[in-house]
Chains A and B, each alone.
Chain A
Amino acid sequence: MTPKDQCAVLLDLAVELRKYGSWGGETHVQKATYLLQELLGLPTGFNFVLYKHGPFSFDLRELLEQMEAGRLIELEEQPYPYGPKIAEGSAAPRFRASTKTPPLFQQGIAFVSRELGSAGVAELERIATALFVSQDREVAPDERDRKLVQLKPHVQLQEAKEAFARLEEIRNAASLAGLSPCAGTSVELTSSL
């Protein structure tokens, strides 16, 4: 995936998330991208590690900074401790005219935005961390909720269980929509330019 394709995906995601009622900050875009990649199997090309609020990509953060510098996005400052909201920047319309998000990604973006739009940062952290834990083959399925609590001690065991249940719901919805990696075909994205 080229950096331009990545910009197109992040831009669409930021806009779409807010359309579904999301706060639309960096954390929201980070977690939605993580689900797009790891749950729906759409390769965005970002590398995620477990960080302060769950799965996080430093590459994605750098690209958002570059997108801000290129006026593709604008950051709307919010009072502490809330992070800024991401809005479309002045250069976005022109960028969209030359760079299109591939259709399968468009469907994926609409799906995760719909599913995660109403979730706050805490819920997003739990869902994304649940996905992170469920991908660790060294963690037995019946140990997953405890593992999540171990990784994020501020999360209660009951909240961890609910996060795995919600993740399962999203997984099933994706499958019904023909968007899960096993339901669809794997995607190898080339530049859309």
Chain B
Amino acid sequence: MPVEANLLHEIRDAIHTFVRLETCERAVVNSRPYQRLRYIHQLAMTYLVYPGASHSRFEHCLGVMELASRIFDVVTDQRNLHADVRGCIHLPETLEHTYWRRTLRMAALCHDLGHLPFSHAAEDTLPDGCTHEDLSLEIIRSPEMARIWQDLKISAEDIGKLAVGSKHYPKPLTDWETLLSEIIIGDAFGADRMDYLLRDSHHAGVSYGHFEHHRLIDTMRILPQKENGQILPTLGIEQGGLQSAESLLWARYFMYTQLYFHPVRRIYDFHLKQFLREWLPSGKFSVDLGDHLMLTDTEVISAMRLAANDEAAPGHSPARRIMQREHFKRIAEITDADREIDPDAAETLSSQLKGKFGEKAVFTDRYTQKGKGIRFPVLTRDGGIEWSTVLSSTLKRVPTFTVEYVFVDPLHSEQAKLYVREFRTALHAKQGEQQ
């Protein structure tokens, strides 16, 4: 049987123009677990609010692989290496460098394999203690993928470590593995974060997520964090890239406030979860790999469409709310100023409304943004190293976005608005007393 030539293939991409991969790597893209990602929307049902946001995890993961490779090439380039970390890095043109570059690319490609239908929106519907990262790791370790890793001559465990990182991998990672994992999923400027901001922004048709990622990547460096005689290689940037990093972190804040936490998008997530709890056997997603790989957004949407038209079907009510756009209405947003007066303002309003309209007619949505990633080392122009938060006048000012929305059944929304007005009057009176 003739051996297939290992060619370089190009995939057209809306963000990065081309994503390049070799023939042997293409086997991963062609695998059943990866092809499934074509049918997992990157932003759940955000397309019901921003019609263009119908892109999938498939293209996002290709983008993460592309960016992770670019970062790896920049930070391991001999010309960019800080003298104090040289000993901790596998240098270019060594077998180790080649091995880890490929492992990093495949980990970036596979980091989201475990995502459930509708990505993060449905994650609450996994059994307690289980996360999509656990499922990603299981798929990477599966016999189905083992043959591909064998052909690529890389270890499934190494791919798994980099794909899910220290937080989810059951054993400790080395400093080098931790560094590579941060290139993919790091809080400050991991390839995952960079790609999703650029891609989500592009598809949703908003500009908030744009930042100068080419400049940022070109200035990324591995810098020594010296503590107690120990040198820890850490991902940082040259001072020239600080403004690009600032714009990324601000872009993330704006994307959270304007897109990811758009109230209508959030309420569709809520109705989706309601539907899944009624529709799924035992109300939870199965963590059996066979079941997981069979289920995508397509099957769930199909079931929702049927349920919306059948009063006897499990999940009929939430399915109807989604399909016929009869979703709960946001009647209040609790702001920082409100919380200043009463830290439990949302809870207070919510319980008042539940008392009037019933438990099931009210939903309170609370979330605080995680993983700010504003503190990272910066190589200064005089060759020193300083924290980004010391050098930057804006990073410390990036707010942590907290959302508290109160939604009610549209049947009661007009009446509920009157109660909200009363509630606000009482809140202001309380503020007067406090002053």
Contacts and interface: CB of A to CB of B under 8 A. Distances in A.
Determine which residue in B178, B226, B228 has the highest number of CB atoms from chain A within 10 A of its CB, and name it: B228
A69 B178 contact: no
Given A49-B166, A52-B175, A68-B400, A62 B232 contact: no
B404 to A, nearest CB: 12
Contact of A122 (B227, B371, B384, B400): B227
A65 B400 contact: yes
Contacts of B166: 49-51, 56, 58
Interface string B289-326: 00000000000000000000000000000000000000
Contacts of A121: 227-228
B368 A80 contact: no
B385 A80 contact: yes
Contacts of A83: 375
B360 interface: no
Interface residues of A, number: 29
Given A49-B167, A122-B230, A154-B230, A62 B370 contact: yes
B390 A77 contact: yes
A80 B372 contact: no
Determine which residue in A77, A81, A84, A120 has the highest number of CB atoms from chain B within 10 A of its CB, and name it: A81
> Interface size bucket, B side?
20 to 34
B87 interface: no
Given A65-B400, A79-B390, A154-B230, A52 B372 contact: no
Nearest to A94: B343
B143 interface: no
Interface string A99-131: 000000000000000000000111001000000
Interface string B387-401: 101100000100110
A66 interface: yes
A187 interface: no
A77 B387 contact: yes
Interface string A150-177: 0100100000000000000000000000
Contacts of A62: 370-371
Nearest to B236: A80
B370 A81 contact: no
A91 B227 CA distance: 32
A77 B402 contact: no
Interface in B319-347: 339, 343
A56 B372 CA distance: 17
A99 B60 CA distance: 43
21 contacts: A49-B166, A49-B167, A50-B166, A51-B178, A58-B166, A65-B370, A65-B371, A66-B400, A68-B400, A69-B399, A77-B387, A77-B389, A79-B390, A81-B377, A81-B385, A83-B375, A94-B343, A95-B343, A98-B343, A122-B229, A154-B230
Interface of B: 166-167, 172, 175, 178, 225-230, 232, 339, 343, 368, 370-372, 375, 377, 384-387, 389-390, 396, 399-400, 402
Interface of A: 49-53, 56, 58, 62, 65-66, 68-70, 77, 79-81, 83-84, 91, 94-95, 98, 120-122, 125, 151, 154
Given A77-B389, A122-B229, 11 more contacts: A51-B172, A62-B371, A66-B368, A70-B339, A79-B387, A80-B385, A80-B390, A81-B226, A98-B343, A122-B227, A151-B172
